[in-house]
Structure 1
Amino acid sequence: MGFPNGRRRIAVAVAALLATVAVAATVYRVLAPAEVSTPARAEYPSAASPAAGVVGRLPVAPLIVDGRLRVYAAHRQVYADRPVDGRHRTTPYWSYRRWPATLDGVVASGTTVVTRWSDGELVALDARTGRVAWRADGPAPVGERAVRRTGAATVWDPRGIVLAPAPDGRQVVVASGAQRLRAVGLADGRELWRADVDSGCRDVVGSTASGQLVTVDACAGPAVLEFRDAGTGVVGARWRPAGAGEELVATPLGCAAGRAGCTALRTSAPGDDAGRGWLLGAGEPAAAPALDRPDAALVDGTAVAVVDGVVVGRSARTGAELWRRPGPSQVRLLAVQPDRVHLLTTTNDLLTLDPATGAQLSFFALNAGSDGVGWAPGAAYAADGFVAVERLREPVDPTGDDQRYYLTSEPLILAST
């Protein structure tokens, strides 16, 4: 016996309404803003001290945190694994994911990992547990940035977020973006200052060891370097190298992770290798000709460069030669970190020197498994005694897709020096 027509219509309408509500609820659950935090369930690992040599290979770029964890960036996720000297990437020790925002940059100091997202949000994580330590609003990034599958640009060269040691000893996180600078304390995320700026003509370079935020300001006439107190936001000196052109590029040198505490910089014109090195201190930058070369690096007060196939260390302050080392032919400077200078030979051997004396600390081939050494180096990173290098397929095709661009599905090689 069927329903009368009127009741049938009501039943159909109710069923349709319930189906619509169910679909809407499903869509909301899938598309609504959300975050998923998966904290650590195991003990915080001990610091590792592996022997010098290749540790392993990884599919994505690691950020070494506290000498104990490797932190990685994905499109909408930041996560860590352990041990720091593991041969392969392992199950995440902790993970943090946001939706629909995308991860824009990661910096770390001590056991605090600060993430910046496409909506401007700053989220700090405790590296020991993976739990959220604090959140703060920040300016949204300007424009989009192409990041390949390794995420190296996100963790090794983050944009729009800089760590700065304030003059009073506090650690500061400065986020720059759409028309604004905002600084918060690393310890608790509390706002210290904010400033309205024209992001189209200002470029934050890094911070100095004396607690200043360095910005290239080209908003009103020829470009100048602006030095702002990282703790208060007050602009102090504005300086321009004598004889500089209308435009100016500043490359920070002698920095810690996150372009923090830089002790020097090199200025040049856009697209010009002819630069000038400068030491940074409390007063005006002081000329440092030993840092003029575009391939010169600064570590522990020593300017290191490869000159006609010879590795030379000079005092950055006086220019006096401290040591020289005729090494394997055609070496290139790969990366530096405190107490270590890393060079790469044409056969992809990694040579590590003491920056104070030039003495060899280690020497070995960057070969993992049966991959061989027939690759070209891409982005490189050094911290806590480790070196990580992207391995690119030869001949390198910058326009190729990731499968063509990288050597293997695990293109990162990790070594202990």
Structure 2
Amino acid sequence: MGFPNGRRRVVLAVAVLLVTAAIAATVYRVLAPAEVSTVARAGYPAAAQPAVGVIGRLPAAPLIVDGRLRVYAAHRQVYADRPVDGRYRTSPYWSYRRWPAELVGVVASGTTVVSRWSDGRLVALDARTGEVAWRADGPVPERKPETRRTRAAIVWDPPGLYLTRAADGREVLVATGAGNARGVELASGRELWRTGVATGCRSDVGSTPTGQLVSVDGCAGAAVVEFRDAATGAVASRWRPPGAGDELVVTPVGCRAGRSGCSALRTAGPGDAAGRGWLVGSGPPVAAPALDGLDTQLVGEQAVGIVEGVLVGRSVRTGAELWRRPDLGPGRVIAVQPGRVHLLTDARDLVTLDPATGAERSRFTLTVGQDGTGYTPGAAYAADGYVAVERLREPVDPDADDQAFFLTSEPLVLAAT
């Protein structure tokens, strides 16, 4: 005995509505904006004291945080592992994931890790626990960094994300994006200022140690270097190098990390291959001829670079030669950090020197296991005594997929110097 036709239609309609509601709920759960925070379940690790030499291989670029953790970027996730001197990447110590936004930048200072997302959201995490410290709205990024599977550009050189210290001692995070720039107090996430900025005719350079955001502004004609107060958002000064033309390329030099805390600039115009070096501070930039040349780095008060095939250290303020090392052979400086200059020789020896004296701190072959030395160094990073280097397959083909571009599936080699 069945239902009458009228009741049958009602039952069928109700069933269809229930199925539709169930499907809608499932789709919402899957596709709705969400975040998943997995905090640390173990104690904060102690600072490591690894032996000098190669530590191991990694598949992704690490950001060394507080000398205790390695922080990595994934497509929609930022996460950390430990110990900092572990031979391989391990299970996450903590993890933070967002959907559907994509991770586009990570910076860190002390025990604060700030992630930036494709929708402009800024999320700060406490590195000791992985807990969310604060959330803030930032400008939508003007562009996403070009990344391969190591995600090195996101953690080592994130575009539009800069740290600096204001005159009153507060650390400030500046985020720039499509037509907008904002300053945020790092400790609390409190917005300090926001301002509109031109697009298409303006580009960021980096931040200085003295609380300024540096940009190149070509919107009103000849390009000028603009210094903006990171604590207030006000333009403090505008400057043009003597003899500069309408076009100007400005590169940060002597940065604490990425493009943050940069103590110098190098300016160049069309046809100027070497560039001119300038120290930046509270006043106008000061000429520093010792920084002229694309291969010259700044470490503290020393300019270090290759001169006629020889690594030379000079005083950045006087230009006086302090030391030279003709015994090292061909190579190039791949990274610097306070108290250390890292030279990778053509034989793939990593040589670490004291920038003040040129004295050798360590030397070893930068290879792991049976990987060999037949690679070309890619992006490199140095912090807290560690060095990480991408290894690219020879000959380097920039158009190749990741498998053919990198030397191995774990292309990064991590070393303690």
Check whether TM > 0.5: yes
Asked if 1:265 is matched to 2:273, the reply is no
**Cα drift, residue 271 of structure 1:** 7.4
Instruction: Name 2:379's counterpart in structure 1.
Output: 379
CA distance in 2, matches of 1:218, 1:355: 36
Pairwise CA distance, 1:173: 0.3
Q: Distance in 2 between matches of 1:390 and 1:76?
A: 22
State the Cα deviation string for residues 296-352 of structure 1 (Å, max 9, x = none): 000011000011221100001110000001133211111000000000011211010
Query: What are the superposed Cα offsets for residues 71-112 of structure 1, whole Å, 9 maximum, x if unpaired?
Result: 000010000000000000000000000001000100000000
Moved over 3 A (4+): none
The match for 2:6 is 6
**Alignment partner, residue 172 of structure 1:** 172
Amino acid in structure 2 at the alignment position of 1:139: P
CA RMSD in angstroms comes to 1.1
Match of 1:389 in 2: 389
Q: Which AA in structure 2 matches 1:315? A: S
State yes or no: 1:108 paired with 2:108: yes
Distance (Å, rounded) in 2 between the aligned partners of 1:70 and 1:222: 43
Is 1:409 matched up with 2:409?
A: yes
Take 1:66 and 1:58, find their aligned partners in 2: how far apart are those partners? 19
List per-residue Cα deviations over 1:41-68 (Å, max 9, x = no partner): 1000000111110001000000000000
Aligned counterparts, 1:203-352, within 5 A:
203-269=203-269, 272-352=272-352
What are the Cα deviations for residues 90-143 of structure 1, in whole angstroms up to 9, with x where unaligned? 000000000010001000000000111000011000000000000111110113
Partner Cα separation in structure 2 for residue 218 and residue 122 of structure 1? 28
Match of 1:56 in 2: 56
Query: Partners in 2 of 1:140 and 1:319 — Cα distance?
Result: 43
Does the CA-based 8 Å contact 1:78-1:95 persist in structure 2? yes
Q: Which residue of 2 aligns with 1:181?
A: 181
Gaps of 5+ in 1: none
SS at match of 2:398: coil
Letter in 2 for 1:413: V
Per-residue CA distance 1:354-411 (angstroms, 9 max, x = gap): 0000000000011111111111100000000000000101110001111110111100
Change (3 A) 1:393 1:271: farther
Residue of structure 2 in register with 1:193 after alignment: 193
Q: Contact 1:167/1:230 (CA < 8 Å) preserved in 2? A: no
Aligned equivalents of 2:191 and 2:77: distance in 1?
A: 25
1:200 offset after TM fit, Å?
A: 2.0
Q: Does 1:126 align with 2:162?
A: no
1:327 is paired with a residue of what secondary structure?
A: helix
Structure 1 residues 213-261: Cα deviation after superposition (integer angstroms, max 9, x where no partner): 1111111111111111111122111100011121111111111124222
Deviations 1:14-53 (A, max 9, x none): 1111111111000000000000000001000000111110
Contact 1:38/1:130 (8 A) holds in 2 = yes
Match of 1:257, SS? coil
Number of residue-to-residue matches in the alignment: 417
Q: Note if contact 1:115-1:122 (Cα within 8 Å) is conserved in structure 2.
A: yes
1:142 aligned counterpart, secondary structure: coil
Q: TM-score, normalised by structure 1?
A: 0.98
Secondary structure of the equivalent of 1:356? coil
Aligned to 1:67: 67
Is the Cα–Cα contact under 8 Å of residues 108 and 258 in structure 1 kept in the other structure? no
- Contact kept, 8 Å, 1:45 with 1:83, in 2: the verdict is yes
Match of residue 32 from structure 1:
32
SS at 1:305 equivalent: strand
The yes-or-no answer on 1:18 pairing with 2:18 is yes
Distance 1:212 1:340 in 2: 26
Residue type at the aligned position of 1:138: G
TM-score, structure 2 normalization: 0.98
- Of 368-377 and 29-38, more deviation after overlay is shown by 368-377
CA contact (8 A) 1:339 1:355 kept: yes
> What code does the residue aligned with 1:253 have?
V
Aligned-pair distance for 1:167? Answer: 1.1
2:333 maps to amino acid: L
2:185/2:192 contact within 8 Å kept = yes
Q: Which residue of 1 aligns with 2:78?
A: 78
Consecutive unaligned residues in structure 2, runs of 5 or more? none
The residue aligned with 1:161 is: 161
Q: Distance in 2 between matches of 1:280 and 1:265?
A: 7
Query: Taking structure 1 as reference, are residues 187 and 258 closer, same or farther at Cα in structure 2, changes over 3 Å only?
Result: farther
Provide the C-alpha distance between the structure 2 equivalents of 1:271 and 1:124, rounded to a whole number of angstroms: 42
Mapped partners of 1:269, 1:71: distance in 2:
37
